[in-house]
Copies of this chain bind each other. A is one copy, B any other.
Amino acid sequence: MSKQAKKLTLDDIAKLAGVSRATVSRVINKYPHITPDVRARVQKIISETGYQPNKIAQSLASQRTGIIGLVIPSATQTILSDPYFLHLISGITQKTNAYALTLSLFLFHSMDDEVQIAHSLFNTNLVDGLIITADRKENPFAQQVITQDIPFVVIGRSDLNTPLASVNVANEQGAYLATEHLITLGRRRLAIIMCDHNTAGDDRYAGYRRALADYDMAFDPQRVVCGDFSLESGYAAMQQLLSAKPDAVFVSSDMMAIGAQQAIRQAGLRIPDDIAVVGFDDLPQAALTDPPLTTIQQPIEELGMVAVDLLHDLMHDSAAAPRQVVLPIALIRRTT
- Which residues of A are interface residues toward B (Cβ below 8 A)? 1-4, 7, 50, 52-57, 59-60, 65, 67, 76, 79-83, 85-87, 89-90, 93-94, 97, 100, 102-107, 109-110, 113, 116-117, 119-120, 122-126, 147-149, 230-232, 235, 258-259, 262, 265-266, 284-285, 288-290
Contact = CB atoms under 8 A, between A and B. Distances in A.
Contacts of A235: 288
A90 B80 contact: yes
A59 to B, nearest CB: 5
23 contacts: A1-B147, A52-B119, A52-B122, A52-B123, A53-B124, A54-B125, A67-B104, A79-B86, A80-B86, A80-B90, A81-B83, A93-B107, A97-B113, A97-B116, A97-B117, A103-B105, A230-B284, A231-B288, A258-B288, A262-B288, A262-B289, A262-B290, A266-B290
A153 to B, nearest CB: 17
A54 B122 CA distance: 10
Contact of A55 (B52, B117, B125, B289): B125
A83 to B, nearest CB: 6
B119 A90 contact: no
Contacts of A80: 83, 86-87, 90, 284
A284 B119 CA distance: 33
Contacts of A87: 80
Contacts of A86: 79-83, 85-86
A147 B2 contact: yes
Nearest to A95: B109
Contact of A79 (B90, B119, B149): B90
A2 B123 CA distance: 10
